[in-house]
Chain A
Amino acid sequence: MTAVVEATDLKKRYGEFTAVDGVSLRVDAGECYGLLGPNGAGKTSIIRMMYGFSPLSSGKMLLFGQDIEKDWRVIRSRIGVCQQDNTLDPDLSVEDNLAVFAGYYSIPAARARARAEELLGFFALEKKRKAKVMELSGGLAKRLMVARSLINEPELLILDEPTTGLDPQSRHLLWEKLRALQKAGVTLFLTTHYMEEASYLCNRLMIIDYGKILVEDSPQSLIKRHVGDSAIEIEGADEALRQYLEKNRINHEVMDQRIMVYAENSVAEHIRHHFCMQRCTFRPPTLEDVFLRLTGRELRE
């Protein structure tokens, strides 16, 4: 079967700076694929090359088996892109935003109207149809952004940080909608800074940093492989614990006030009984632990 997205040895250079450095990935039909990485890791550059906005410095980007650099127009008519910034048309009302956007795809007026109606319903925007875009809250604006990117009934929906800045209610609503879309057969490709979101939505994901691939797998496998069964946060750790961790080569990170240990169940039990003098917190490990382990804790910007 032809992959929906197939990127091979993708490179993007801006002058001396290499933003994307040899990334290859494949997204199959019906998947939700996540692209994670700290700020400046190269996520948006990859997305821009994916929908044919930025030229590739080298490598290949195929969507539906077609080359984005040659067949960008055909490809764009089959995909939807929800950009990171609010790119809604502030000069137009909510419904006109959808109608005019449909025009860019040369969708006939009657079908565009029907589709706009459908989307207004799906994203609970009916009451706001006449509203000006400027009057919309962040959550509503994002819903309209996603709705607009679906106007052409795309087979692939690309979302660049779709829930950044949204309140929990709006975020959860959007997650439900994205899940429903995936169930209806739409392939999803998204970037996010929320690990919870990636775990919840993505079948597979890739973590990149400095333009290079760090890992790629399902969220569960990544957690299992990189952090184990348990995450234990130990305050006031003593020398004995450190020696124990070093000696048994147990995954751990030493921070200012505490030690984070990632371990199998048996080791966790051992720590619980022997080293928890002050305060220990045992919790299931998350994708966030994987992300921080792989990309480090220092700030990027």
Chain B
Amino acid sequence: MSILSDLSWRFLRVWWRNLIVFRRIWKVNFLVPLFEPALYILAFGLGFRNLVGGVSYAGLDLTYTEFIAPALIATAVMWNSFFETTYASFVRMIYQKTFDAMMATPLSLEEIILAEVIWGATKAAAAAGIMLVVLGVLGFVAFPSGLLVIPLAFLGGVAFGAVGMFFTGIVPTIDMFNLPIFLFMTPLFLFSGTFFPISSLPPWAQKASLAFPLYHVVEPIRLLSLGMTEDVPLLSIGYLLIFSVVFLKLAMSSMRRRLIH
């Protein structure tokens, strides 16, 4: 296993670099997770309330707003980590040559990639934390079980960060990210039990949704937000773990092919 031998805790140094850069613009970075959920809740709460009745979910009758509130966190986790390891990492890699500089130091490419993914997950977890506060104040999150959303957001962030990094390893130009976003992310965003329960889909589409990684982020986050900790499917956690490991490895080998000549 050459990948394992090229990994060490030194990756945290690269993570730290990203944190230093982030700290300088954190106020701007935190505005989105702060206001985005409020806007969505406002739009869906006011606009959809009269169109959509209650949603029956996990034996509970929820209002539509109650149903989608936790999904907002899950989708934010997905976008935050994915954008970080696609556009942001691509800019660092190609335009800023940051990785080139790092690879003259005792850092391995694998450590740099891992750090980028973990950083994406950190941003995702931070955004989830802020949204949790906003949604908690609005009464959409049950505590203390809701706090478990943060580690889950981190895990989901690793999964989406890894898949983003994999795309970064294979896209020829930065404009080409449109393709995975349109073909991969948008279907996930819409069909992972985010805006409607997957039980309202035909059976074949339900099965497809079960294969979507976002579904395995949405479900646990919704259950935790509703206070149903014991119902969180371990299968989802397992799915995210395996998905993360597989795509981390794919990301590392695609980046190696791309950068090392």
Stretch among B99-107, B158-166, B234-242 lining the A interface: B99-107
A139-178 interface bits toward B, Cβ cutoff 8 Å, 1 = contact, 0 = none? 0000000001100100000000000000000000000000
Q: Are B100 and A14 in contact (CB under 8 A)?
A: no
CB-defined contacts of B17 to chain A, threshold 8 Å: 89, 92, 100, 103
Interchain CB contact (< 8 A) of A85 among B16, B21, B97, B261? B97
Interchain CB contact (< 8 A) of B102 among A86, A88, A104? A104
Interchain CB contact (< 8 A) of A73 among B14, B108, B260? B108
Q: Is B20 an interface residue (CB 8 A)?
A: yes
Q: Is A59 an interface residue (CB 8 A)?
A: no
CB-defined contacts of B106 to chain A, threshold 8 Å: 73-74, 76-77, 104-106
User: Which residues in chain B, 96-135, are within 8 Å of chain A measured between CB atoms?
Assistant: 96-98, 100-108
A: number of interface residues (CB 8 Å): 30
Q: Is A51 an interface residue (CB 8 A)?
A: yes
Q: Are B21 and A87 in contact (CB under 8 A)?
A: no
A99-143 interface bits toward B, Cβ cutoff 8 Å, 1 = contact, 0 = none? 011011110000000000000000000000000000000000000
Q: Is A236 an interface residue (CB 8 A)?
A: no
Q: Is A20 an interface residue (CB 8 A)?
A: no
Q: Is B49 an interface residue (CB 8 A)?
A: no
Q: Are A86 and B20 in contact (CB under 8 A)?
A: no
State the Cβ distance, A52 to closest chain B Cβ, in Å: 8
Q: How far is the CA of A55 from the CA of B260 in the complex (A)?
A: 8
Q: Nearest CB to that of B16 among chain A residues?
A: A103
Q: Is A256 an interface residue (CB 8 A)?
A: no
With A54-B261, A81-B104, A91-B21 known as contacts, the answer to whether A104 contacts B13 (CB < 8 A) is yes
User: Which residues in chain B, 228-246, are within 8 Å of chain A measured between CB atoms?
Assistant: none
CB-defined contacts of A101 to chain B, threshold 8 Å: 101, 105
Q: Is B10 an interface residue (CB 8 A)?
A: yes
Interchain CB contact (< 8 A) of A88 among B101, B107, B108, B260? B101
Please provide the 7 A-B residue pairs with the shortest distance between their CB atoms, ordered closest to farther: A81-B104, A87-B101, A104-B105, A91-B21, A87-B97, A103-B13, A73-B106
- Residues of A at the B interface (CB closer than 8 Å) are 14, 51, 53-55, 73-74, 76-77, 80-81, 83, 85-92, 96, 100-101, 103-106, 148-149, 152
- Known contacts A100-B16, A106-B10, then 9 further A-B pairs from the complex at CB < 8 Å, ordered by chain A residue: A53-B260, A74-B106, A77-B105, A85-B100, A96-B20, A100-B20, A104-B14, A104-B102, A105-B105
